[in-house]
Amino acid sequence: MPQISRVVAVVVAFNRRELLMEALTALSTQSRALDAIVVVDNASDDGSGDAVRANFPDIDLVTLDRNTGGAGGFAAGMAHALKVHDPTWLWLMDDDTIPTASAAAELLSAVEAQPGVSIAGSRVIWTDGRDHPMNTPREKPFVSQAERAAAVQAGTLAVRSSSFVSMFVSASAVRQAGLPVADYFIWNDDFEFSTRVLRDSLGIFVPASVVVHKTKLLGSTDLDPGERFFFEVRNKVWLMRYSRGLKAWEKAMYGASSIRRWIRTIRRSQQRPVLWSGLRRGLSEGSRTRPKSNESYFADLTVVADAVAQVEAARDRA
């Protein structure tokens, strides 16, 4: 059968050279061959970029002059892939995500079986085979009976959001909804992006597509975050104030859930003063500022600035 859909993987890398090599080996040996692989090197200083050039010369390597975080890395990589590779589907993942051999094929089969799906996520396990609590899917709140039935019939689950650990997203949906907000840097960037894409379209979890998330520890996002807690708080405030992804009742629901999680995280923390500081700074900055536009954020990175501007301009016209 001819491969009609073009599937392009986008991997964001930062100082995890050995894991990146493992991830790229897994991507290069998928049972459904990928049409291109884009690696965004977020100014790594461990030789990640050199390793890609030496071991995977056919991979499209985009090297950034500064670390733009996961949010910026995915925004840059997606924009570049849309401009250069003409994808039908973008497969987004971190450099510590190791896909099993059939992961791409299962995602593609699932989205082609359910018309209208814009995002599909993989089942994420840890190194010992247990489901990773950091990436546990939840059924879409108040999902309609028809949507639930269609998902069940296809062996999937209807969801409202998805994770950049392994996210399959329609290129046409990205052109319409826009890129992730790069200024988030880390945390909540995938939630904001996926809920924005899925506000008026369908998202699914595909348990037959399996990837291994090789984090150092097995734990959820409640695991003691340290200084990074600032980004969780600031970005969630930004999301509630400015994102078009959530409807008013959803913001109330997810906002209440976030507050409960913040309290639980601080209570369990071994470094409470750090988290209290992050909470105060996050609330203050989230309330006083708004995220930069992607065009402004990438203005100094000429390697991707034009591609980002093109995607965002197309979104504005949509």
pLDDT of residue 242: 97
- Retrieve residue 152's tokens: 């069940």
pLDDT at 220: 65
Distance from C-alpha of 186 to C-alpha of 75, rounded to nearest angstrom: 12
Report the Cα–Cα distance between both ends of the chain, in Å, rounded.
34
Angle between helices 48-55 and 17-28 (to 10 degrees): 30
Tokens of 227: 């200084």
CA atoms within 13 A on the CB side of 312: 19
Q: What is the pTM of this model?
A: 0.95
Going by the DSSP 8-state scheme, the letter that residue 60 receives in this structure is: E
- The set of residues, in sequence order, having a beta carbon less than 8 Å from that of 111 and lying 6+ positions away, is 89, 117, 120, 168, 170, 204
Average pLDDT, 10 consecutive residues per value, the chain (318 residues) = 81 98 98 98 97 98 98 98 98 97 98 94 95 88 92 94 97 97 97 96 97 85 84 98 96 95 93 96 98 97 97 83
User: Do 30 and 3 meet the contact criterion of CB atoms below 8 Å apart?
Assistant: no
- Tokens standing for 218? 């097995």
Number of DSSP helices (H) and strands (E) in the chain, helices first: 12, 9
pLDDT of residue 174: 97
Q: Is 181 helix (H, G, I), strand (E, B) or coil?
A: coil
Q: What is the DSSP string of 89-150?
A: EEEEEETTEEE-TTHHHHHHHHHHHSTTEEEEEEEEE-TTSSBPGGG---BPTT--HHHHHH
Domain 7-218+290-317: top CATH class: alpha beta
In the beta sheet, which residues pair with residue 121?
Answer: 167, 205
